[in-house]
Structure 1
């Protein structure tokens, strides 16, 4: 804790010294948040949202999106290995099943299991920004956006460019990434390819990960645009301790394919986007790597979806509307063959109240073939107290249906429960945002009351885990954050970015006598995140990141990471990264021992 206090004090001192002279700021307030219907600038949002910019992605000591997300306030990342080979992401104390991942607004949830949520077929080098919406998002994105949603955004460029990045490091780690843009008249296109592998940081933790991503867009005229996307990821990895410590020779191979086609009509006061997409996930799981006949599972899930989302402006304000239909199917040697269909209707309204207040309210009505109709109302009220200060509050209902793993899995250490019912929650938050001259501060309190929480339990270590519904569980917490961002100012030594946040989460779920729970009582409790990006001259950047993490019923741990970039935006650049500089002994998920101090370094080539 003394290390933490010392580092925070040093960062705060550096900020106070430089803030007096830095006047050039980087304003993210007008970044348009990419929701599917009513889209508002970041500064006008009445919700708790974190933005990860491209510069932050490029300068963070991280080799994967999961590692980047680990520095976002209120987000709990539990990796089963380095560079995000397999990761679970949760928000505000929720489980990994309660977070919805999206790519450009397309849902990536897998009906088999939430463990596949981070199989995102986009190399890190091609991501433009990431939007993290905390709290209920069912009204905006549909079911499974239970505790929050993470939208990964890519952008088509008007300019030609090519970027190559390579690296190597401890554990035999190496990787090569390419991203390029080749616009031709009214047609824009991006291509990105990446490959990463490692011998692993401990026994049976080697991995190989490949990604390919292509996106194209045709401007038919000023009002009509077509976009298409096709992407594929292939990841195979030794899974020692991933799901059970009893079988250290576990191995898994996962392939995910994603394809989409969309049309956008944009008139003066009317916007409509229609799209269809397909997602396939193939999962091979072996309990003994060199003896697959002992226990082996094959799962293939297919998702087919059609969506129409739009908005129009009238005397009443801005109205958003949407329709969706989605079929989920699985063929599995373990879970059996199943399918289910959902349909959904979105409707919301944004109105201004006087000169300073606005109200955004709506409802998502969802029909599931297995559970019938469910309705998810929600509303946010915002008040612009001053030019710099915005107050807000919100309410929403969220919902999640069990995955096929929850319902039907049969194995030596896990058994499903086909009597499960969906979980549902009522959510409330109240907060304040203050922004001025590159400084942004936010304070928010939230409360989530869950009915029929799905949690894996067991009576003792000799009995397989099995999920059950808990009648009612309440989560509440606070988040306080401070961010400072400026543009380069030409000084020899200056702070480009500073951030500091604190999160506290409390859950009233207590263990029943003789019952052990797997996830809920290891949720995030205390989290402190800090970082400072320092510019040294015109070519050198030094980023320091720290985290102090405490989960319920577990010991806290402190992590310190650093990255140095030289010539990052020039034609030839170099970088070096160090993770867990404090050589902390810790685990994030399962029984996987995370590595101690480790290093990697690489190069960047930029051609425009």
Structure 2
């Protein structure tokens, strides 16, 4: 093994002259936010949006998208175990049910429960960037974008490439990924194929897991104005679930298989852009309360989502007009929830205009029809003021909503009751912010407010018994108000010389205050379990043009859990060259903490691996 490592180091040195340009290092001002209708330059957005670029994904000490997101201001990631085997993500105090996940604009919401929202059938190495929209997103994406939305974006390269990565580390963790690009027909047909496999023996009893992802995307240029795209993906994850949902059964176990298939057509000519697409998402979920005794208690769920969408925009002398329509069918076949299905119809309309040289205004409406609730309408508006090339003020207002999941409506077990009479939850949100960007320096501060008078939360009546015998029941509680502010600073100083250079530093602080009005003594499971204080700091340095060191630290204080501080680090050698190496250490501080459920997160642990880049 020692000889092999020495040989690989020699090869990496030999190929050093073939260093590739780090094309992932892109000025954020040049990034275009890819919503389903509008395309807006990042520097002209009137929303609080975080962009996680390819370079940040590559250099963050993380083995999953969940872990990468945990370093994003205002985003609350609750992991159950290592490497994102299962995690819930909330934004600005919202629960996991109130966050919409998308892959290239395709909604990944699971009607059974959004506990499966992060079952993204895509290797981390296949992601080009991540767009995190904070605040109401119903006007843009429809229902479920209640507190925010996260859009994972991939690309179809025009040149051939291959990236391979393999690693091993603590807790018997090991994994490998392969991402390839193979354009054909003179570049008219572009395609990527990605595969990854991650596994671990577990950091404590019954926490082993295996996760595999296979992803394919292809794009065909029919002519100058028409393009076809196809996407197919599957994810398989099986894991011991000790402490995931209860601490009374340490041998819980779960197996999930998620598939996604999509076909889209894009027409663009002059000022007109129209995209139509169809997609199907299927999720199998088997959960056992006792891993090796399936007859004791097992839930089996199969959920399907079928959707058709048409979105477009038209640029003219009065601005840009966006329009869209979506139809969606959600189905589930479950031994606990029964056989259920529901249909949605949604219509989008919006307009954006720039005026008086420094102002831009955008307003729109999303109207949704659901046979049980009828038509509901959700307007929103944004206003931006470009004080100078470096300074921008913005404000926005929107109404968002979410339909209850099948679990909230129908799930029952000895600890939980269903509530088929639940109504959709709705909120009114307001935001005002300021951005300053100049010569590698970026500062942003924002205040936000979200009010809901029919929030869905699981609660139960109090009891004098040591173990509360009352069951958790989802209800539309009276009202909840979230107030908060976020401040972030990022700077790329490039201080130093060839031997040592400070490349990037970042710091952010997020504060949230929540006021809940409900019956006295009632226990709430989620409504007051949000972030209160969140500090995130990052630093990246470079040594001898070959070695990159990334440090990430975060202090997290939630309203119902003990606060903690965790620091992670990663070192890359020859990251952009033909052969490279990396080493990561998580939880350098060896902190004891819990993020979700009853799962004690692991102490200090590390892994190391190799990378191969062929162009």
The normalised TM-score by structure 1 is 0.95
Structure 1 distance, partners of 2:92, 2:159, is 39
Residues 158 and 26 of structure 1: CA distance in aligned 2, closer, same or farther (over 3 Å): closer
Mapped contact 1:327–1:342 kept (Cα < 8 A): yes
**Aligned-pair CA distance for 1:245:** 1.1
Write out per-residue CA displacement over residues 477-501 of structure 1, whole angstroms, 9 at most, x where no aligned residue: 0000011237899632112221100
Q: Indicate the residue corresponding to 2:5 in structure 1.
A: none
Which residue of 268, 271, 288 corresponds with 1:269? 271
Structure 2 distance, partners of 1:134, 1:52, is 14
**Aligned-pair CA distance for 1:415:** 2.0
Mapped contact 1:299–1:331 kept (Cα < 8 A): yes
Q: Indicate the residue corresponding to 2:234 in structure 1.
A: 232
**Aligned-pair CA distance for 1:63:** 0.1
Which residue of 284, 297, 300 corresponds with 1:298? 300
> Does 2:492 match 1:485?
yes
> Does 2:593 match 1:591?
no
Which residue of 327, 330, 333 corresponds with 1:331? 333
Further displaced range: 369-378 or 175-184: 369-378
Residues 301 and 345 of structure 1: CA distance in aligned 2, closer, same or farther (over 3 Å): same
Structure 1: stretches of 5+ with no match in the other structure: 1-24
Q: Indicate the residue corresponding to 1:142 in structure 2.
A: 142
> Does 2:505 match 1:498?
yes
Taking the TM superposition and a 5 Å limit, the aligned residue runs for 1:160-175 are 160-175=160-175
**Aligned-pair CA distance for 1:113:** 0.1
Structure 2 distance, partners of 1:277, 1:375, is 25
Q: Indicate the residue corresponding to 1:398 in structure 2.
A: 400
Q: Indicate the residue corresponding to 1:18 in structure 2.
A: none
**Aligned-pair CA distance for 1:27:** 1.8
Structure 1 distance, partners of 2:233, 2:163, is 19
Further displaced range: 397-406 or 547-556: 547-556
> Does 2:392 match 1:385?
no
Further displaced range: 48-57 or 218-227: 218-227
Q: Indicate the residue corresponding to 1:194 in structure 2.
A: 196
Structure 1 distance, partners of 2:497, 2:399, is 49
Structure 2 distance, partners of 1:266, 1:26, is 26
Which residue of 530, 546, 552 corresponds with 1:545? 552
Structure 2 distance, partners of 1:72, 1:289, is 35
Structure 2 distance, partners of 1:356, 1:257, is 46
Runs of 4+ in 1 over 6 A off after TM superposition: 486-490
Mapped contact 2:496–2:502 kept (Cα < 8 A): no
Aligned residue for 2:477, secondary structure, equals: strand
Aligned residue for 1:84, secondary structure, equals: coil
> Does 2:535 match 1:533?
no
Q: Indicate the residue corresponding to 2:243 in structure 1.
A: 241
Q: Indicate the residue corresponding to 1:176 in structure 2.
A: 176
Mapped contact 1:26–1:486 kept (Cα < 8 A): no
Structure 1 distance, partners of 2:51, 2:412, is 40
Q: Indicate the residue corresponding to 2:370 in structure 1.
A: 368
Q: Indicate the residue corresponding to 2:9 in structure 1.
A: none
Structure 2 distance, partners of 1:420, 1:177, is 43
Write out per-residue CA displacement over residues 109-134 of structure 1, whole angstroms, 9 at most, x where no aligned residue: 00000100000000001000000000
> Does 2:563 match 1:556?
yes
Q: Number of aligned residue pairs: give it.
A: 584
Structure 1 distance, partners of 2:121, 2:26, is 30
Structure 2 distance, partners of 1:232, 1:486, is 42
Mapped contact 2:443–2:490 kept (Cα < 8 A): yes
Q: Indicate the residue corresponding to 1:253 in structure 2.
A: 255
Aligned residue for 2:264, secondary structure, equals: strand
Further displaced range: 522-531 or 512-521: 512-521
Q: Indicate the residue corresponding to 2:442 in structure 1.
A: 440
**Aligned-pair CA distance for 1:409:** 0.4
Aligned residue for 1:46, secondary structure, equals: coil
Q: Indicate the residue corresponding to 1:582 in structure 2.
A: 589
Write out per-residue CA displacement over residues 441-480 of structure 1, whole angstroms, 9 at most, x where no aligned residue: 1000000001211111123433332111112110010000
Structure 2 distance, partners of 1:125, 1:263, is 26
Write out per-residue CA displacement over residues 53-87 of structure 1, whole angstroms, 9 at most, x where no aligned residue: 00000000000000000000000000001000000
Residues 26 and 495 of structure 1: CA distance in aligned 2, closer, same or farther (over 3 Å): farther
Write out per-residue CA displacement over residues 358-414 of structure 1, whole angstroms, 9 at most, x where no aligned residue: 100000001112211111100000000111000000000000011000010011222
Q: Indicate the residue corresponding to 1:127 in structure 2.
A: 127
Mapped contact 1:193–1:211 kept (Cα < 8 A): yes
Which residue of 407, 421, 424 corresponds with 1:422? 424
Q: Indicate the residue corresponding to 1:151 in structure 2.
A: 151
Mapped contact 1:26–1:438 kept (Cα < 8 A): no
Structure 2 distance, partners of 1:488, 1:329, is 56
Further displaced range: 229-238 or 449-458: 449-458
Residues 227 and 175 of structure 1: CA distance in aligned 2, closer, same or farther (over 3 Å): same
Aligned residue for 2:72, secondary structure, equals: coil
The normalised TM-score by structure 2 is 0.94
